[in-house]
Amino acid sequence: MSILVIAEHDNASLNASTLSTLAAAAQIGGDVTVLVAGHNAGAVVTEAQAASGVSKVLVADDAALADGLAENISALVVEIASNFSHVLTAASNFGKNFMPRVAAKLDMMQVSDIVEVVTADTFVRPIYAGNALMTVKSKDSVKLITVRSTAFDAVAETGGSASTEELAFGEAFAGTSFVSRDVTVSERPELATARIVVSGGRGVGSKEQFTIIDDLAEKLGAAVGASRAAVDSGYAPNDCQVGQTGKVVAPDIYFAIGISGAIQHQAGMRESKIIVAINKDDEAPIFQIADYGIVADLFDVVPELMAKL
């Protein structure tokens, strides 16, 4: 078996999701090649070479690859996919954007968002917001897969010493161009990989009051998350949303504060090791999955909690 993993990065560093994708590749088993498609992404290539289990790094450098445009990345992957038995990437917004385009161009079906490798052609993926797990077997000659990062423990960042090979990029897709990016700057750890996540919901009440969530997160060295209601109401930016249509997280501790625990929210956090819920309504569904619950006003509990930490 020979597996191609498409690296997710911002031209400066390798996204941790790629290390989890490599772990899924290791479970499938076989020779692992990483593709770094970007522009002036030398640092990413170095990281990919060092990642455990990688034997070769393909490097495609072109201005048209700088911004992760699906049209360009997919064209490149389509060129080389048939040299591999599997092509894997993270089920992040980056991977979800380009991989189906690769699949359709190759006339193949993608297996989305896998959480388990059963055999080299059979995988488990959640459907219905994680309320059911479907096992599917792919009959296509190349298995095209997006991997849920939280379901696979990252491989070591070091230990590998992969060779590199340059890959030429053809022509940029004419109809799409990158305009601008508005990246949320935060001093907090990355939501997707943080050991502790503190999330606030509609119960927090306003953008100003949401600082109570930020403050607790800072005290715990945690990432900040939010429910869709909190994002829709402008309390927190969109990249903080946890859930079926937001990010999937599985930290050691997840604090759900002023969050009712709708199925769509649970879809993004129910695999957390410990769930703590703070909600004044003792019937809120979040208590059904919480390990520790406090039924009280969050504006009383959170300051007390800060004082105890």
Contact positions vs ligand FAD (CB under 6 A)? 127, 201-203, 227-230, 241-246, 258-260, 262, 264-265, 268, 278-281, 284, 297-299
User: CB under 8 A: which stretch of 19-27, 50-58, 105-113, 157-165 binds other proteins?
Assistant: 105-113
Torsion angle in degrees (nearest 10) through CA of 201, 206, 207, 213: -50
Q: How far is the CB of 92 from other proteins (least distance, A)?
A: 5
Cβ of residue 146: shortest distance to other proteins, in angstroms?
8
- The angle that helices 70-80 and 93-105 make with each other, rounded to 10 degrees, is 50
In the complex with other proteins, the residue whose CB is nearer, 86 or 247, is 247
CA distance 235 to 127: 29
Per CB under 8 A, the list member of 161, 208, 283, 308 interacting with other proteins is: 308
Decide if residue 309 touches other proteins (CB under 8 A).
yes
Residue number with CB closer to ligand FAD (34 or 103):
103
Under rule CB under 8 A, residue 2 binds other proteins: no
Residue 25 belongs to what H/E stretch? helix 16-28
Residue 298, amino acid = L
Q: By CB under 8 A, which span of 38-46, 48-56, 87-95, 157-165 interacts with other proteins?
A: 87-95
Residue nearest to ligand FAD (CB): 243
- Pick from 13, 82, 184, 206: which binds other proteins (CB under 8 A)? 184
Q: Name the pairing type of β-strands 196-200 and 86-90.
A: unpaired
CA distances from 90 to 50, 196, 205, 211 (A): 19, 22, 34, 31
Q: How far is 3 from 217, CA to CA, in rounded Å?
A: 39
Question: Of the listed pieces 26-34, 43-51, 164-172, 245-253, which binds other proteins according to CB under 8 A?
Answer: 245-253
User: 149: part of which helix (H) or strand (E)?
Assistant: none
Q: How far is the CB of 296 from other proteins (least distance, A)?
A: 8
For the CB of residue 19, give the shortest distance to other proteins in the complex, in Å: 15
With contact defined as beta carbons under 8 Å apart, do 169 and 64 qualify? yes
| Residue list 134-163, contact with other proteins (CB under 8 A) | 134-140
Q: Which of 161, 208, 283, 307 binds other proteins (CB under 8 A)?
A: 307
Q: What angle do CA 193, 160, 121 make, to 5 degrees?
A: 70
- Spatial separation of the C-alpha atoms in residues 258 and 210, rounded to whole Å: 11
